[in-house]
Copies of this chain bind each other. A is one copy, B any other.
Amino acid sequence: MGASYYQFCPVAKAMELLDERWTLLIVRELLSGSEHFNEVRRGVPRMSPTLLSKRLNQLVRAGVAEKKDDRYVLTPAGKELRPVVDALAVWGVRWIGELGDQDLDPKLLLWDMRRNITLDAIPDTRTVILFVFPDVQPRNRHWWLVMNAGAADVCDTDPGYEVSVTVTADLRHMVRIWRGDTPWQDALRSGAIDIQGPEPLRRTLPTWFALSPFATIPRPTVHDAGGALQAR
C-alpha cells in the first residue's frame, strides 16, 4: 500500500491504495475479465512483471482481489471499484485532448478489439482480417485477427491463412474509431481508412466490433466551454 495521508477523509483513505502507479489500470483489467497473470500483463505491457506481481499482491492484501489457484478475481470490494474506473474513463474521454504518438499502441488496440468482437455478427466460416498500419514501424505494421467458431486470435506474424479482408489505416485514425471519436463511415469516406475485400465483408466489417465501452460517452459541447486539454 502507498504512504498514508493521515486523514480520515474517505477520498484520502481510498487514494492511499489507489493512487499508486498502475494500480487502477490493473483493476481495469480485472474488471474487463482478465484473470491470469500474463493476461493482465497484456493490458499493461509497459509494466515490469516484478512490479505487476507486487501490485497484485497489494490488491490481495487490501481485500480488493483474491487469488484462486492461478486466477486473480475481484472481491465485492473490488467489483465496486467499477464506478471509480468508469468515472475516470468518462473524464478522460471528455477532457484529454489529442493523444500522443506514444499512446498509440497497435497491440493494445488489437487486443481490445478482440475482446469486443460481436460474435453473432461475424461470418460462420473462418474469417481473417489483416490490419495494415503503414505509418507504424515495420515490426508492428501488420496484424492478423483470426476469427473462427466464436474464438478469435491476434497474431503479429502471418498465421498462413488466406486473408478475408484487409484494413489499411493510419493507426491514429483506427484508434479514434475505436474510441468513438470518429464514426467508421466518416473515416471511410474521408479515405483515412481503406477496406479491401469482397463487397459483403467490406460492408459489414464495421459491425463486427462493438466499439470501446467509452465510445458512447458524450463529448464536451461548446456549452461545456473551456475546450480540450493539453495533449502531452
Contacts and interface: CB of A to CB of B under 8 A. Distances in A.
B226 A46 contact: no
A76 B226 contact: yes
A137 to B, nearest CB: 15
Contacts of A11: 24-25, 28, 85, 88-89, 92
Given A13-B99, A15-B24, A7 B105 contact: yes
**Stoichiometry, copies per complex:** 2
Most chain B CB neighbours (cut-off 10 Å) among A25, A96, A108: A96
B19 A75 contact: no
A5 B11 CA distance: 23
A15 B88 contact: yes
Interface string A188-232: 000000000000000000000000001000001000111001101
A10 interface: yes
A225 to B, nearest CB: 5
Interface string A69-98: 000000111001101111111111111100
Given A15-B88, A76-B220, A83-B90, A10 B225 contact: no
Interface string A101-137: 0111100110000000000000000000000000000
A69 to B, nearest CB: 19
Interface of A: 1-16, 18-25, 28, 44, 46, 61-64, 75-77, 80-81, 83-96, 99-100, 102-105, 108-109, 175, 178-179, 214, 220, 224-226, 229-230, 232
30 contacts: A4-B102, A4-B103, A4-B232, A7-B103, A7-B108, A8-B99, A8-B103, A9-B108, A10-B88, A10-B90, A10-B91, A10-B96, A11-B24, A11-B25, A11-B28, A11-B85, A12-B92, A14-B89, A14-B91, A14-B96, A18-B19, A62-B230, A63-B226, A64-B229, A76-B220, A76-B224, A77-B95, A77-B226, A80-B94, A84-B88
